[in-house]
Structure 1
Amino acid sequence: MKIRIQISRTQPGMSLIELMISLLIGSILMIGALTIFVKSKETYRLNETMSRIQENARLALTILGPDMRLASFWGRGSDAGVVFGGAAEIDIVPVGLAVAGSCRQNWAIDVNLAIDGSNNNFPYAGCQPFGNGAQPNADVLVTRHASSTPAAAATAGRIQVFSMRMAGSLFADGVIAATPPGSTSRVADLITHAYYISQDSGPGPVPFGSGVGVPSLRRKALVPGPLVQDQEVSPGIQDLQVQFGVDTDIVGSVFRGSVNRWVNPGNPLIDPLSGGFNPNAKIVAVKIWLLIRAERPEPGFTNTRNYVYADQNVTFNDNFRRLLVSETYQLRNTWVN
C-alpha cells in the first residue's frame, strides 16, 4: 500500500487576530517605555529645580549669618558710643566721611544703629534699587560693623575703623591716628550693608536664565571711593522678612540679654524718635525668613499653597515652586550695654 504525503509549497501567514494582538502588545510596550522616559525627565527637572532653590537658600543664609553676628563689632571694643566720627541721619556729614550715592544722610557711618531695617518697603531715595525696583512688601535689613579681619593697610578713599580698648574713630584719608604708649590698636574696614529684594536679578548661567522678572536678594554695600555699590547676593529670592528680638529688661538685671518680645523693623519700641521708645530696649537677636522661588515656571504644576510667616499671609496661583526658610541669629555685640 502506498502512502502519499502531500507537502505544501506555501507557508501560511499570521491571521488577522494574531496581527492585531501583536500590534496591541507592541503598542503597550512602546507606551510604557515612553511613559518611563517622560516620568524620568519630569523627575530630573523637579530635582534640578529643587536643588537650585536649596542652593540659593544656602548661599543667602551663608552670607547673611556672619554679617548679622558681627553687627556692632568695632574691633577692640563693641561700644559704638566711643567710635568718634559716627553720625546719625539728622547730623551734619563729618568732614572727610562723605559717601557718593549714600542711601540717606550718614547712612554708612550711623554706627549707633548696628542693626536696622525697614518693614515692608524700600525706604531709601538716595540709592535706587536694582532693575525694575524693589519687591513690594519686602523688608530691608541693615548691618554695620568693622571687618572681622584687620585691614592690610590704611587706605585712602576707604572708610576704616581705628580702635583701641576704650575708644575708636572712623577715617578715610589713609592716615592712622597715633596710639598712646602701652596701648594696642587695630585698623579694620567699615562694613555697611542694606539687604533688600529686587524684582530682577543679573544675568545668570544657562539654563536657569536669571534676569528680568527673576527676583533676587541684593544689598547696598559701602565700598572704596567711598561710595555705595549694588551687589547681588542670590537670585531667586522672592521675599525677605525680618523681626528683631528685643530685650526690655533694665540695665543690671539678671535677665539682661534675653529676648522679651519680637517686633518688626521700625517698631516704636526701638525707634528713638517715637513716643513709644523704650531706652532700655536692645536688639539682641534677629529672625529672618526667606521665600525662595524657582527661576523658571514649571509646566503642569500649579502652586496654590498659602504661606504664613512674620507679618505676611500670602497665597500664589502660578507655576513656580517655592521654599520658605527661616533662621534666628543671636547677636554677640549689641547687648553688652
Structure 2
Amino acid sequence: MSICRRRSRAAGFSLVELLVALVLGILVLAGIAKVFINSKQGYRVQESASRTQENIRIAVDYFGRNLRLADLWGGVEPAQVGLIGAPVYNGPGGCENAWILDTASGVRGYAGGVSAPLGLPAGCLSDYVSGSDVLAVRYANPDAYVTTAQLGASGAGNALKTNGKYYLRAKVGQRAVLFDVTNDANRLRAISVDIPGVAEDGVLSYQYQTLLFYLRNIDFGRGPVPTLNMLRLQSDSLQAEQLVDGIEMLSFSYGVDSDDDGQVDAYRNAAEISNWQQVLSVRVAFIARGDELDRYTDTQQYPIAADRCYGPASSACSLKYSVETARFQRRLVVKDIQLRNRVRG
C-alpha cells in the first residue's frame, strides 16, 4: 500500500494545478508584453523627437543659407540691373508671372491665405497648407560663376542652362544685365555690348536664382504630411522640390528700416510692407511636428507671429491643428536672419 501511495503522489500535476500555472503564465506574459509595447512606443516617440530636431536644423539651414544670399547682384544695386530680351515665364499649375525675374525684390513675402497667398496665381502652389506664409528669394548664385570664354563657346546655351538658363553679368559698382543664355543673340550681346563704355575686364557672370518657399501637404503613404517645399527656377520654369517633412505651419515677419539708419525699427507682416527694399532681416517662425503619435494630447497655443497664434481646434487661434493630429509632439522655432547684402557698413 505504501508503494502505491508513493506512485500516486509522483504521477504529476492535477488539472487545477495546470490551469493555475497557465493563468499565472499568461499574466506574466501579458505584463512582459505590456512593458515591451510601452518601451517600443517610448523608443518610437524618442526617435520621432530626434528626427524632428534634425528636421529643424535642416530647415533653419535652408532659410539661413538662401536669405544670406538674397539681393546679391555681383556688386551692384538692384536698380542697376537691366533685362535683355523678353523671357517666357512658366511654372507648375499656371504659375506664370514676371516676378520670377524681379531683381528689384531680392526678398518678397506673401501672407498666408485660404487656398493661395494674395499676389500669386491660384494654381502656383499645389496642395498648399492653408494659412501658411510664402517667401520668394532671388540672387545671383556665387557658386555658379562662369567665365566670358564659357559664355562665348560654341553650344554655350545648352551647356550652361542646367539648373536655370538665366544669367547675370555684372561690373562691380557700375551696372549689370540679366539675360537668357540659350538665346545666342542676347548671350553674345551680353558679352560684348551689355555694359556700354565699360571694358570686359572685371565683368563677372553668375547664374540667376529664384526660390519660392512654402508648405505643401504630401502623402507618403500614411496620410498627408505638411512639408517644407520649394519652387526653384530650372531652365525657364519653376520646379517643385520637397525639402523637410513635418513642418506644420510657417510664418515670416520682416524687419523694416523705415528711417534709413541701417537698423531694424519694427517687424511687420507681408501685408504691411510697401517698400521691400527697406527690409533688413527676416524672422522665420515655424512649427515642427513629430511623425509618431504620443500618449498625450497637445493643447498648447503657439505664438507663430505677433498677430497670430497656432493652436488646437478648440482654441481662439486663427491658425489651428486638427483633432486627429493633436497627439503629435510639436516645437515652435523662431529665427531672425539678417539680409547681409542690405546691411550697410
TM over 0.5: yes
Alignment counterpart, residue 162 of structure 1, candidates 148, 161, 169: 169
User: Larger strand proportion, structure 1 or 2?
Assistant: 2
Partner of 1:217 in structure 2? Answer: 228
AA partner of residue 163 (structure 1):
A
Percent of aligned pairs with the same amino acid = 26
| CA distance 1:22–1:115, shift in 2 (3 Å) | same
Q: CA deviation at 1:11?
A: 5.4
Distance, in Å, in 1 between the alignment partners of 2:66 and 2:294 is 38
| CA distance 1:137–1:14, shift in 2 (3 Å) | same
Partner of 1:276 in structure 2? Answer: none
User: Larger helix proportion, structure 1 or 2?
Assistant: 2
AA partner of residue 39 (structure 1):
N
Distance, in Å, in 2 between the alignment partners of 1:262 and 1:195 is 20
Distance, in Å, in 2 between the alignment partners of 1:257 and 1:217 is 31
Partner of 1:109 in structure 2? Answer: 101
Q: CA deviation at 1:78?
A: 4.4
Distance, in Å, in 2 between the alignment partners of 1:141 and 1:284 is 15
Say which SS state the counterpart of residue 151 (structure 1) adopts.
Answer: strand
Contact 1:247 1:259 in 2 (8 A): yes
Distance, in Å, in 2 between the alignment partners of 1:240 and 1:193 is 16
Partner of 1:89 in structure 2? Answer: none
AA partner of residue 245 (structure 2):
P
Summarize deviations over 1:45-84 as a string: whole Å, max 9, x none: 2123223322332222222211100011112x14111111
Partner of 1:263 in structure 2? Answer: 268
AA partner of residue 193 (structure 1):
L
Contact 1:104 1:126 in 2 (8 A): no
Long gaps (5+) in structure 2: 313-322
Contact 2:76 2:171 in 1 (8 A): no
Query: Superposition pairs for residues 276-287 of structure 1, below 5 Å?
Result: 282-287=278-283
Distance, in Å, in 2 between the alignment partners of 1:38 and 1:312 is 39
Contact 2:214 2:230 in 1 (8 A): yes
Contact 1:78 1:334 in 2 (8 A): no
Q: CA deviation at 1:26?
A: 4.2
Distance, in Å, in 2 between the alignment partners of 1:289 and 1:45 is 26
Contact 1:97 1:159 in 2 (8 A): no
Distance, in Å, in 2 between the alignment partners of 1:182 and 1:232 is 40
Summarize deviations over 1:298-319 as a string: whole Å, max 9, x none: 2754222222221322222333
Distance, in Å, in 1 between the alignment partners of 2:294 and 2:344 is 53
Q: CA deviation at 1:40?
A: 1.3
Alignment counterpart, residue 290 of structure 1, candidates 268, 286, 289: 286
The answer to whether residue 87 in structure 2 is matched with residue 97 in structure 1 is yes
Partner of 1:302 in structure 2? Answer: 297
AA partner of residue 330 (structure 2):
R
Q: CA deviation at 1:190?
A: 0.8
Partner of 1:90 in structure 2? Answer: none
Q: CA deviation at 1:259?
A: 1.4
Summarize deviations over 1:249-299 as a string: whole Å, max 9, x none: 33xxxxx222111111131xx315xxxxxx9x7211111011123346x27
Distance, in Å, in 1 between the alignment partners of 2:31 and 2:88 is 69
Alignment counterpart, residue 130 of structure 1, candidates 126, 129, 136: 126
Say which SS state the counterpart of residue 294 (structure 1) adopts.
Answer: strand
Contact 1:57 1:290 in 2 (8 A): no
Summarize deviations over 1:161-196 as a string: whole Å, max 9, x none: 101112111011343423744731211111111111
Contact 2:286 2:334 in 1 (8 A): yes
Aligned CA-pair RMSD:
3.0
| CA distance 1:72–1:258, shift in 2 (3 Å) | same
Contact 2:294 2:328 in 1 (8 A): no
Partner of 1:10 in structure 2? Answer: 7
Partner of 2:258 in structure 1? Answer: 248
AA partner of residue 305 (structure 1):
Q
AA partner of residue 240 (structure 1):
L
Runs of 4+ in 1 over 6 A off after TM superposition: 13-21
AA partner of residue 203 (structure 2):
S
AA partner of residue 89 (structure 2):
V
Say which SS state the counterpart of residue 120 (structure 1) adopts.
Answer: coil
Distance, in Å, in 2 between the alignment partners of 1:238 and 1:120 is 13
| CA distance 1:330–1:103, shift in 2 (3 Å) | same
Say which SS state the counterpart of residue 129 (structure 2) adopts.
Answer: coil
Partner of 2:333 in structure 1? Answer: 325
Long gaps (5+) in structure 1: 1-5, 86-93, 251-255, 273-278
Partner of 2:73 in structure 1? Answer: 74
AA partner of residue 85 (structure 2):
V
Distance, in Å, in 2 between the alignment partners of 1:247 and 1:59 is 29
Q: CA deviation at 1:24?
A: 7.1
The answer to whether residue 91 in structure 2 is matched with residue 83 in structure 1 is no
Summarize deviations over 1:79-120 as a string: whole Å, max 9, x none: 1111112xxxxxxxx633232237454211211111110112
